[in-house]
Structure 1
Amino acid sequence: MAKRDVVFPAGRQALYEKNRYSPAIRSNGFLFVSGQVGSRPDGSPEPELEAQVRLAFDNLNAILAAAGCTFDDVVDVTVFIVDPESTFETIWKVLPEYWGNAPHPTLTGIGVTWLYGFQFEIKVIAKLPETIDG
Protein backbone atom coordinates (compact mmCIF):
# COMPACT_ATOMS: atom_id res chain seq x y z
CA MET A 1 0.00 0.00 0.00
CA ALA A 2 1.29 3.45 -0.88
CA LYS A 3 2.04 5.81 1.97
CA ARG A 4 -0.66 8.46 2.46
CA ASP A 5 0.40 12.04 1.78
CA VAL A 6 -1.28 13.64 4.80
CA VAL A 7 -1.77 17.39 5.21
CA PHE A 8 -1.91 18.75 8.76
CA PRO A 9 -2.91 22.33 9.59
CA ALA A 10 -0.62 24.13 12.01
CA GLY A 11 -1.34 23.54 15.68
CA ARG A 12 -3.98 20.79 15.36
CA GLN A 13 -1.99 17.62 14.65
CA ALA A 14 -2.46 16.29 18.22
CA LEU A 15 -6.24 16.62 17.89
CA TYR A 16 -6.25 14.56 14.67
CA GLU A 17 -3.90 11.96 16.13
CA LYS A 18 -6.09 11.66 19.24
CA ASN A 19 -9.16 11.04 17.06
CA ARG A 20 -7.23 8.74 14.67
CA TYR A 21 -7.92 10.30 11.28
CA SER A 22 -6.15 12.48 8.74
CA PRO A 23 -7.39 16.01 8.13
CA ALA A 24 -6.60 15.75 4.41
CA ILE A 25 -4.90 13.46 1.91
CA ARG A 26 -3.22 14.52 -1.34
CA SER A 27 -3.81 12.04 -4.16
CA ASN A 28 -3.62 12.22 -7.97
CA GLY A 29 -3.78 16.02 -8.15
CA PHE A 30 -6.62 16.37 -5.65
CA LEU A 31 -6.93 17.15 -1.96
CA PHE A 32 -9.54 15.13 -0.05
CA VAL A 33 -10.44 16.96 3.14
CA SER A 34 -12.13 15.25 6.09
CA GLY A 35 -15.29 16.82 7.45
CA GLN A 36 -14.53 19.99 9.37
CA VAL A 37 -16.63 21.25 12.24
CA GLY A 38 -16.62 24.40 14.33
CA SER A 39 -14.32 23.00 16.96
CA ARG A 40 -12.23 25.07 19.31
CA PRO A 41 -8.51 24.25 19.69
CA ASP A 42 -9.33 21.64 22.36
CA GLY A 43 -11.84 19.95 20.02
CA SER A 44 -14.98 21.13 21.83
CA PRO A 45 -17.90 22.59 19.86
CA GLU A 46 -18.37 26.33 19.48
CA PRO A 47 -21.87 26.68 21.02
CA GLU A 48 -23.30 29.56 18.93
CA LEU A 49 -24.38 28.36 15.45
CA GLU A 50 -23.11 31.26 13.29
CA ALA A 51 -19.78 31.24 15.11
CA GLN A 52 -19.63 27.44 14.75
CA VAL A 53 -20.12 27.67 10.97
CA ARG A 54 -17.43 30.38 10.69
CA LEU A 55 -15.04 28.29 12.77
CA ALA A 56 -15.73 25.23 10.59
CA PHE A 57 -14.76 27.31 7.53
CA ASP A 58 -11.70 28.69 9.34
CA ASN A 59 -10.62 25.12 10.18
CA LEU A 60 -11.24 24.08 6.57
CA ASN A 61 -9.31 27.05 5.21
CA ALA A 62 -6.34 26.22 7.47
CA ILE A 63 -6.15 22.76 5.91
CA LEU A 64 -6.53 24.14 2.39
CA ALA A 65 -3.75 26.66 3.07
CA ALA A 66 -1.46 23.95 4.46
CA ALA A 67 -1.81 22.19 1.10
CA GLY A 68 -1.25 25.37 -0.93
CA CYS A 69 -4.94 25.75 -1.83
CA THR A 70 -7.77 28.19 -1.22
CA PHE A 71 -11.53 27.74 -1.34
CA ASP A 72 -11.31 28.79 -5.01
CA ASP A 73 -9.65 25.40 -5.65
CA VAL A 74 -12.60 23.49 -4.17
CA VAL A 75 -14.56 21.52 -6.78
CA ASP A 76 -16.96 19.52 -4.58
CA VAL A 77 -18.60 20.25 -1.22
CA THR A 78 -20.67 18.08 1.09
CA VAL A 79 -22.34 19.68 4.11
CA PHE A 80 -24.03 17.90 6.98
CA ILE A 81 -26.60 19.89 8.94
CA VAL A 82 -28.39 18.89 12.14
CA ASP A 83 -32.06 19.89 11.97
CA PRO A 84 -31.78 21.74 8.63
CA GLU A 85 -35.38 22.91 8.79
CA SER A 86 -34.59 25.19 11.72
CA THR A 87 -30.88 25.94 11.09
CA PHE A 88 -30.58 26.25 7.31
CA GLU A 89 -31.22 30.01 7.04
CA THR A 90 -28.71 30.83 9.79
CA ILE A 91 -26.06 28.64 8.19
CA TRP A 92 -26.71 29.82 4.63
CA LYS A 93 -26.32 33.49 5.48
CA VAL A 94 -22.72 32.80 6.61
CA LEU A 95 -21.64 30.91 3.48
CA PRO A 96 -21.17 33.94 1.16
CA GLU A 97 -18.40 35.16 3.49
CA TYR A 98 -16.35 32.09 2.51
CA TRP A 99 -17.83 30.73 -0.71
CA GLY A 100 -16.40 33.26 -3.17
CA ASN A 101 -17.71 34.13 -6.60
CA ALA A 102 -19.22 31.93 -9.30
CA PRO A 103 -18.61 29.47 -10.70
CA HIS A 104 -19.26 27.69 -7.40
CA PRO A 105 -18.29 24.12 -6.53
CA THR A 106 -20.80 21.29 -6.69
CA LEU A 107 -22.78 20.84 -3.47
CA THR A 108 -24.52 18.03 -1.65
CA GLY A 109 -26.42 18.89 1.53
CA ILE A 110 -27.39 16.17 3.96
CA GLY A 111 -29.68 16.53 6.96
CA VAL A 112 -28.53 14.46 9.92
CA THR A 113 -29.67 13.85 13.48
CA TRP A 114 -26.29 13.91 15.22
CA LEU A 115 -22.78 15.29 14.65
CA TYR A 116 -21.03 14.58 17.95
CA GLY A 117 -22.33 17.80 19.52
CA PHE A 118 -21.92 19.96 16.42
CA GLN A 119 -24.64 21.37 14.16
CA PHE A 120 -22.66 21.80 10.93
CA GLU A 121 -19.90 19.90 9.14
CA ILE A 122 -18.28 20.55 5.77
CA LYS A 123 -16.05 18.25 3.72
CA VAL A 124 -14.52 19.11 0.37
CA ILE A 125 -12.45 17.92 -2.54
CA ALA A 126 -10.06 20.50 -3.99
CA LYS A 127 -7.92 20.47 -7.13
CA LEU A 128 -4.30 20.97 -6.12
CA PRO A 129 -2.61 23.88 -7.89
CA GLU A 130 -0.49 22.98 -10.89
CA THR A 131 3.24 23.05 -10.24
CA ILE A 132 5.70 24.24 -12.84
CA ASP A 133 9.05 22.51 -12.86
CA GLY A 134 11.83 24.94 -13.60
Structure 2
Amino acid sequence: MLSFPSSDTTDRLSSFMCTFDDIVDVTTFHTDPEQQLNDVMAVKQEIFALPPYPNWTAVGVTWLAGFDFEIKVIARIP
Protein backbone atom coordinates (compact mmCIF):
# COMPACT_ATOMS: atom_id res chain seq x y z
CA MET A 1 0.00 0.00 0.00
CA LEU A 2 1.41 3.36 -1.04
CA SER A 3 0.72 6.49 0.93
CA PHE A 4 2.42 9.35 -0.83
CA PRO A 5 0.22 12.24 0.30
CA SER A 6 1.00 11.67 3.97
CA SER A 7 0.47 14.34 6.61
CA ASP A 8 4.27 14.59 6.95
CA THR A 9 4.61 15.41 3.24
CA THR A 10 1.76 17.91 3.41
CA ASP A 11 3.29 19.54 6.51
CA ARG A 12 6.70 19.84 4.84
CA LEU A 13 5.22 21.40 1.74
CA SER A 14 3.02 23.80 3.69
CA SER A 15 5.96 24.96 5.82
CA PHE A 16 7.23 26.56 2.58
CA MET A 17 3.73 27.77 1.59
CA CYS A 18 3.55 24.98 -1.04
CA THR A 19 0.98 22.33 -1.96
CA PHE A 20 1.12 19.24 -4.16
CA ASP A 21 0.33 21.59 -7.07
CA ASP A 22 3.79 23.12 -6.59
CA ILE A 23 5.65 19.84 -7.11
CA VAL A 24 7.59 20.10 -10.38
CA ASP A 25 9.79 16.99 -10.26
CA VAL A 26 9.34 13.51 -8.80
CA THR A 27 11.94 10.74 -8.70
CA THR A 28 10.93 7.31 -7.46
CA PHE A 29 13.38 4.55 -6.57
CA HIS A 30 12.16 0.94 -6.82
CA THR A 31 13.71 -2.31 -5.63
CA ASP A 32 11.16 -4.25 -7.72
CA PRO A 33 9.88 -1.97 -10.50
CA GLU A 34 7.81 -4.65 -12.24
CA GLN A 35 5.79 -5.26 -9.07
CA GLN A 36 5.66 -1.64 -7.86
CA LEU A 37 5.03 0.51 -10.93
CA ASN A 38 1.32 -0.28 -11.37
CA ASP A 39 0.60 0.83 -7.80
CA VAL A 40 2.83 3.88 -8.13
CA MET A 41 1.14 4.95 -11.36
CA ALA A 42 -2.32 4.58 -9.79
CA VAL A 43 -1.34 6.82 -6.87
CA LYS A 44 0.38 9.26 -9.24
CA GLN A 45 -2.82 9.63 -11.28
CA GLU A 46 -4.79 10.30 -8.09
CA ILE A 47 -2.44 12.98 -6.78
CA PHE A 48 -1.57 14.62 -10.09
CA ALA A 49 -4.97 14.29 -11.78
CA LEU A 50 -4.79 17.52 -13.79
CA PRO A 51 -2.05 19.25 -15.76
CA PRO A 52 0.49 20.62 -15.45
CA TYR A 53 2.06 17.33 -14.44
CA PRO A 54 5.46 17.19 -12.76
CA ASN A 55 8.42 15.61 -14.47
CA TRP A 56 8.63 11.99 -13.29
CA THR A 57 11.65 9.67 -13.29
CA ALA A 58 11.47 6.07 -12.06
CA VAL A 59 14.77 4.38 -11.18
CA GLY A 60 15.28 0.69 -10.53
CA VAL A 61 17.75 0.01 -7.71
CA THR A 62 19.06 -3.13 -6.04
CA TRP A 63 18.88 -1.84 -2.46
CA LEU A 64 17.43 0.94 -0.32
CA ALA A 65 18.29 1.41 3.36
CA GLY A 66 15.44 -0.52 4.96
CA PHE A 67 12.84 0.33 2.30
CA ASP A 68 11.47 -1.16 -0.92
CA PHE A 69 10.44 2.18 -2.40
CA GLU A 70 11.56 5.79 -2.03
CA ILE A 71 10.23 9.11 -3.36
CA LYS A 72 12.10 12.36 -3.86
CA VAL A 73 10.17 15.49 -4.86
CA ILE A 74 11.16 18.99 -5.83
CA ALA A 75 8.63 21.76 -5.38
CA ARG A 76 8.75 25.34 -6.57
CA ILE A 77 8.23 27.96 -3.90
CA PRO A 78 5.45 30.32 -5.03
TM-score by length of 1: 0.51
CA distance in 2, matches of 1:91, 1:107: 11
Matched, 1:124 2:76: no
Matched, 1:84 2:30: no
For 2:63, the equivalent position in structure 1 comes to: 114
Specify which structure has the bigger relative contact order, considering alpha-carbon pairs within 8 angstroms and separated by 6 or more residues: 2
Aligned residues: 77
CA distance in 2, matches of 1:64, 1:100: 18
* CA root-mean-square deviation: 1.6
CA contact (8 A) 1:77 1:107 kept: yes
Moved more, 56-65 or 67-76: 56-65
Identical positions, percent: 44
**Structure 1 residue 90, shift from structure 2 partner:** 2.0
Q: Which has the larger radius of gyration?
A: 1
CA distance in 2, matches of 1:118, 1:99: 24
Q: Aligned partner of 1:118: which letter?
A: F
**Structure 1 residue 84, shift from structure 2 partner:** 0.2
Structure 2 alignment gaps of length 5 or more: none
TM-score by length of 2: 0.81
CA distance in 1, matches of 2:55, 2:24: 6
For 1:69, the equivalent position in structure 2 comes to: 18
